[in-house]
Structures are given as structure tokens and as C-alpha cells.
């Protein structure tokens, strides 16, 4: 399997530089690359909005006569990790592995770009519900978040390269935990089967 140009991890995406050279990237490196590109786009949008306002002011055109790029929501940062998809507060994070949450957040973006919107939605909804659950211990939350982190990462890899046996084992153990939480009944009934389908 092709390796990432930056870290020797199996590559999932290919990007091109200014010379047209194809560069293979893994999930983590692609997420960092995408974040840089996105920041550039946002900076350009703000610059265009500023220049448009300046033109209106100088020329006497009524303010907001020309269209503007809409303001983007400010990403949430938890323990130094920037979240673009998962919406939880620091107050409910507690002792949960923020590294796993960060991986999940990056993978949601990757899954959406791959067209796996249903899986991305299931991962997001389950992760937020687990973190906010009042029926789970911190240890149980950690186990479930780590399971979802593994499953979401595998969902972003080609089907033939997924670790199916490990995935089913983790999901089976995770189901035993999540089923005892009354406040997660509806969300697990709706979204857990989608995680299972990743390995089916």
C-alpha cells in the first residue's frame, strides 16, 4: 500500500503541488493540509469582505450593497485541540481522551469529503451523546470514544484494507457498555448499526 509522503503511514489521499506532482497523504497529514487550505480560504474571504466595504465607503455606495461572504462559525478548542465538527464543552470532557476526540473530529471531515455522510453523522451524533451522557462513568466513555475513533478511521480507509475482526470485536464490547445507558437508547438504536455496516 502507498505510504504517506510525510510520516510513512498508509496513505488515503493524493494531493498535487504547484508543479502537478502527486503527493500521497495519510488521514492525519491530510487533515492538517486541509486545515491550512481552509484557513487560507477564510483569510481570503475576510480580505475580500474588507475590500468590498472599503469600495462602498470610498465611492458612497450604501453599506452592504454588495454581497459578502458569510461569517464562519468559530471552531471550538478543547484542551488545545481545534474542533470543527464535534460540539461539546470543556466542562463535560473531564478525563476523556481528547486525542481520540480530535482524531474523530478530523475523520468526520474526511468522511464527508469521501461522500460517507451517513457514517460521518453517526460518528458525530454518537460521540457527542456519549460525552454528554450522565449514565456512563469516565472509563466507559473513554472506551466508547476510543472504539468510535478506531471505527471512524477504518471507515475512511479502503474497504479491503479495514481491520474487520478487530472492528467487530470492539463494536461488540462497546455495545455492551452503551446498552446500559438509558440516556443513549435512542441514539445507539439509530446510529450504532451504521458503525457496524462499516465492516459488513
pLDDT tens sequence for the chain (200 residues): 788 888 888 887 788 888 889 998 887 788 778 778 878 888 999 999 999 999 999 998 898 899 999 887 655 555 555 667 787 765 555 566 677 888 888 888 888 888 899 999 999 999 999 988 889 998 999 999 999 999 998 998 888 888 999 999 999 999 999 988 999 999 999 999 999 999 98
Boundary of a domain, candidates 31, 51, 72: 72
Going by C-beta distance under 8 Å and a sequence separation of 6 or more, which residues neighbour residue 147?
170, 171, 173, 174
Question: What is the pLDDT, as a whole number, of residue 147?
Answer: 94
Which residue, 72, 99, 115, sits at the end of a domain?
A: 72
For 175-187, the pLDDT digits (tens) are 999 988 999 999 9
Bridge pairing between strands 76-78 and 81-83:
antiparallel
pTM over 0.75: no
Domain around 14: 1-72
**Helices (H) and strands (E) in the chain — how many of each?**
7, 4
Report whether 7 contacts 28 (CB < 8 A): yes
Asked if residue 3 and residue 64 are part of one domain, the reply reads yes
Instruction: Give the pLDDT of residue 174.
Output: 92
pLDDT of residue 93: 57
In this prediction, residue 42 carries a pLDDT of: 86
Residue 82 has what pLDDT?
Answer: 60
Residues 110 and 199 in one domain: yes
User: Do 25 and 80 sit in the same domain of this protein?
Assistant: no
The answer on 59 and 107 residing in a single domain is no
Query: What's the total number of domains in the chain?
Result: 2
The reported pLDDT for the residue numbered 41 is 87
Q: Are residues 134 and 44 both part of a single domain?
A: no
**Do residues 34 and 132 both lie within one domain?**
no
| Coarse DSSP helix, strand, coil percentages of the chain, rounded to the nearest 5 percent | 60, 10, 30
Residues 9 and 36 reside in one and the same domain: yes
**Statement to judge: residues 66 and 81 lie in one domain:** no
Amino acid at each position: 500500500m502507498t505510504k504517506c509522503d510525510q510520516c510513512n503511514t498508509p496513505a488515503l489521499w493524493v494531493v498535487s503541488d504547484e508543479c502537478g506532482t502527486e503527493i500521497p497523504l495519510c488521514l492525519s497529514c491530510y487533515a492538517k493540509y486541509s486545515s491550512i487550505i481552509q484557513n487560507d480560504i477564510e483569510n481570503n474571504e475576510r480580505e475580500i469582505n474588507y475590500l468590498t466595504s472599503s469600495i462602498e465607503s470610498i465611492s458612497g455606495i450604501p453599506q452592504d450593497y454588495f454581497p459578502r461572504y458569510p461569517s464562519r462559525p468559530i471552531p471550538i478548542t478543547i484542551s488545545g485541540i481545534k474542533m470543527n465538527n464535534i460540539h461539546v464543552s470543556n466542562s463535560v470532557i473531564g478525563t476523556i481522551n481528547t486525542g481520540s476526540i480530535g482524531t474523530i473530529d478530523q475523520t468526520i471531515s474526511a468522511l464527508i469529503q469521501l461522500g460517507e455522510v451517513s457514517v460521518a453523522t453517526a460518528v458525530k451524533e454518537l460521540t457527542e451523546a456519549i460525552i454528554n451522557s450522565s449514565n456512563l462513568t469516565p472509563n466507559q466513555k473513554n472506551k466508547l470514544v476510543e472504539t468510535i475513533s478506531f471505527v471512524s478511521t477504518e471507515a475512511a480507509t479502503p474497504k479491503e484494507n479495514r481491520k474487520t475482526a478487530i472492528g467487530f470485536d470492539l463494536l461488540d464490547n462497546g455495545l455492551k457498555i452503551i446498552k446500559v445507558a438509558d440516556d443513549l437508547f435512542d441514539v445507539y438504536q439509530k446510529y450504532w448499526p451504521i458503525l457496524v455496516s462499516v465492516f459488513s
